[in-house]
Amino acid sequence: MIDNTNPFWTVTLPEMLDVIFVAILLYTAIVWARQTRAAFVVRGMLILGSIYIIAKYLDLQMTAWIFQGFFAIFLIMIVVIFQEELRQLFERIAVWSLARKRVPTLGSSTSDVLVRTVADLAKEHVGALIVIRGNDPLERHITGGIALDGKLSGPLLKSIFDSHSPGHDGAILVEQDTITRFAAHLPLSKDLGQLANVGTRHSAALGLAELADALCIVVSEERGTISVARDGKLRGVENIQQLGAIIESFLQVKFPSTGQNNFSLPFFRENWIAKATAIALAIGFWYIFVPGSKTVEFSYKIPVSIENLPPNLLVEEIEPPVVSATFSGPRRAFYLLNSNNIKIAIDVSMAELGRRTFNISEQNVRYPKELTLQEVSPSTLKLSVRRVPGASDSDRG
């Protein structure tokens, strides 16, 4: 029996939850790939995957076989190449399972103090590096430094970054209204494209922003300019109003207020392309692996082809010229199936003059190995041949 049921009419609640959960995982992976060096690898994998699908569709068996072997070791390659990124991803998953209140945020007045002090430091060409912690733990990335736990204020910041202070070359870590550590050392970035014509402080700020979700503020000692690093991106700040907006935006995203509706319209507008892509991929994977794994039957009309016809004979008629073949297999095996790859070939090397009947068996049918031949109708065909005018029996060879 041929199954023409549309699987989308029989979706159950567990399957819907399954699609939603996979979409969340895919969206997390997409955001992670965009923020790390994995973006180029993901693009490469998409290109290779497309080539593999095309090779399967065109029945390029050797090309498909090579790609199947490559995908078999792909997971091992991911673990080896992206050890640091995967560790960072698992850390963020662990952080999401904790209550947000465990990582306190800055007060609005403290944010104003921070903006005014940074502006003064830039005006006086005093170098500074300030890290505002997000949700990610920073202990693994920060080395050295001196614990302080001091109330954040303008005079304290200026005294720390004074050129005569022993800790002025390091970074300070800000959590809530407190400077928890100063003179800390941050990992240096190797992104030469973003670090052209900037100093070590910028490299350290970008290095931490590549590994954690912190906001790093840099004041250039030579130029007196302000830059911020966040989510692996380093960019300059034109004025203190823009700096204040950046800090407020960071705090709103990382530490939303209790009464804020997390499912508001901005939630759907933010990264909507990535979210739509994740949902589309999740539905596609569900369609392939859930309905696609169900066994179905489909029938195809296949023209009969003749093989090994003696050169002194000519085919006058094939009755019937088209045979119906029914195949069974997983639904996904039929998605990219090219019916032109299914052939019914009859060997007529021993054909005699006149009309002759040939049986059609499974040996005469060529089809993809994922399928199973169920029925061929009709099971016999009649072939009418005649001798080519002027040909002799010696032409058989």
For the chain, give every domain's residue range. Answer: 7-99+264-291, 104-254, 294-396
Residues 323, 377: contact at Cβ < 8 Å? yes
Give residue 264's pLDDT: 47
Task: Note if the pTM is more than 0.85.
Answer: no
Give residue 25's pLDDT: 78
What is the pairing mode between strands 128-132 and 171-175?
parallel
Residues 88, 162: contact at Cβ < 8 Å? no
Residues 85, 210: contact at Cβ < 8 Å? no
Question: How far is residue 114's CA from residue 109's CA, in Å, rounded to a whole number?
Answer: 9
CB within 8 Å of 55: residues ≥ 6 apart: 63, 64, 67
Answer positive or negative: Cα dihedral of 150, 152, 153, 158: positive
Residue found by looking up tokens 């199973």 in the block? 372
Tell me how crowded residue 282 is: count the other CB atoms within 10 A of its CB: 20
- The alpha carbon torsion through 231, 257, 152, 218 (nearest 10 deg) reads 20
Residues 356, 380: contact at Cβ < 8 Å? no
What is the pairing mode between strands 322-330 and 354-359?
unpaired
What is the pairing mode between strands 354-359 and 313-319?
unpaired
Which residues, in sequence order, are bridge partners of residue 377? 324
What region, left, alpha or beta, does residue 295 occupy, with left being phi > 0 and alpha being psi -120 to 50 degrees?
Answer: beta
Residue found by looking up tokens 């693994």 in the block? 140
Residue type at 34 in one-letter notation: R
Q: SS3 string of 98-117?
A: CCHHHCCCCCHHHHHHHHHH
Strand order from edge to edge, sheet including 295-307:
365-366, 343-347, 295-307, 322-330, 372-377
Q: SS3 string of 220-285?
A: CCCCCCEEEEECCEEEEECCHHHHHHHHHHHHHHHCCCCCCCCCCHHHHHCCHHHHHHHHHHHHHH
Of the candidate CATH numbers 3.40.50.2000, 3.40.1700.10, 3.40.50.170, 3.30.56.10, the domain formed by 104-254 belongs to 3.40.1700.10
Backbone angles phi, psi at 127, to 5 degrees: -70, 140
Which of helix, strand or coil describes residue 194? coil
Residue type at 192 in one-letter notation: L
Residue found by looking up tokens 């304290």 in the block? 156
CB within 8 Å of 73: residues ≥ 6 apart: none
Give residue 100's pLDDT: 45
C-alpha 203: how far from its chain's center?
A: 28
Q: 294-396, which class in CATH? A: mainly beta
HSE-up (13 A, CA, CB side) for residue 218: 28
Reading the chain (397 residues) residue by residue, the pLDDT tens digits are 444 444 444 566 777 888 888 888 777 777 766 665 566 666 777 787 788 778 877 777 788 788 777 776 776 776 776 666 666 666 666 655 554 444 445 555 778 888 999 999 999 999 999 999 888 878 888 888 888 888 888 899 999 998 888 888 889 999 878 899 999 999 998 888 888 888 899 999 999 988 888 899 999 988 999 999 998 889 999 888 899 889 888 888 777 765 554 444 445 556 677 788 888 888 877 776 666 677 888 899 999 888 888 888 888 888 888 999 999 988 777 877 788 888 888 888 776 666 678 888 888 898 888 889 999 999 888 888 888 776 555 554 4
Q: Which helix (H) or strand (E) holds 393?
A: none
For the residues of 57-101, what is the DSSP string, one character each? Answer: HTT-HHHHHHHHHHHHTHHHHHHHHTHHHHHHHHHHHHHHTS-GG
Question: How far is residue 380's CA from residue 300's CA, in Å, rounded to a whole number?
Answer: 17
Question: How far is residue 126's CA from residue 117's CA, in Å, rounded to a whole number?
Answer: 11
Tell me how crowded residue 202 is: count the other CB atoms within 10 A of its CB: 21
